[in-house]
Amino acid sequence: MSLLFFMSVVLMYLIWHFMSPDLFKSSASEDSDRAIRNRLDTLRLMEVQFHTVNGKYAGTFKELFDFIKTDSMPFDSLSKTPGVPAYMPVFGRIPLNIEKYQLVPPLDTDTFLIFAGLINRSGREQPVFEIREPYGNDNREVYKVGDKYNTITNGNWK
């Protein structure tokens, strides 16, 4: 009986050992995709705040990060009370290394592409932005938030 138990454990281990590289590969890919989407969501929040204060979107990461680090948001549109620092709604505290948000995870070696401009909608100029991965992935389309041809601010994975 114990020999049969031992052999079944060895067989299960061998099956797991030969199947696991594919399982870990897909899990790593999903983790990487999730990290990219989370970083793009954070950048989207920063752009929306920048737009709330400035009436346009930031066209460079330097402009966006300088705003988050140094400017403030109005507390609300009606009161005249002082605003809150722009980083508070996104991070809750001063971000120590905000520049990392322009880098594509998980390796942080490539930089996201950023665009801001104006489009004409119904005879009016509307500000738009787009932040996207610099390259594609064989298994999926390039992740991005915003759209340089439309006034949406969501990510294309939602």
Provide DSSP, 114-129. EEEEEEEETTEEEEEE
Whole-angstrom Cα distance, residue 8 to residue 108?
44
pLDDT of 139 reads 80
pLDDT band, very low/low/confident/very high, at 4 (cuts 50, 70, 90): low
pTM, 2 dp? 0.79
Encoded tokens for 5 = 């138990």
Amino acid identity, position 60 = T
Counting residues of the chain whose pLDDT is more than 70, the rounded percentage is: 79
Degrees, nearest 5: CA angle 113-90-50: 55
Amino acid identity, position 39 = R
Residue 68 CB-density burial (10 A; 0-12 exposed, 13-18 middle, 19+ buried): buried
Neighbour count for residue 51 (Cβ, 10 Å): 17
| 76-108: pLDDT as tens digits | 666 666 688 889 888 888 888 999 999 999 989
Asked if residue 53 lies in contact with residue 71, where contact means CB atoms within 8 angstroms, the answer is yes
Amino acid identity, position 97 = N
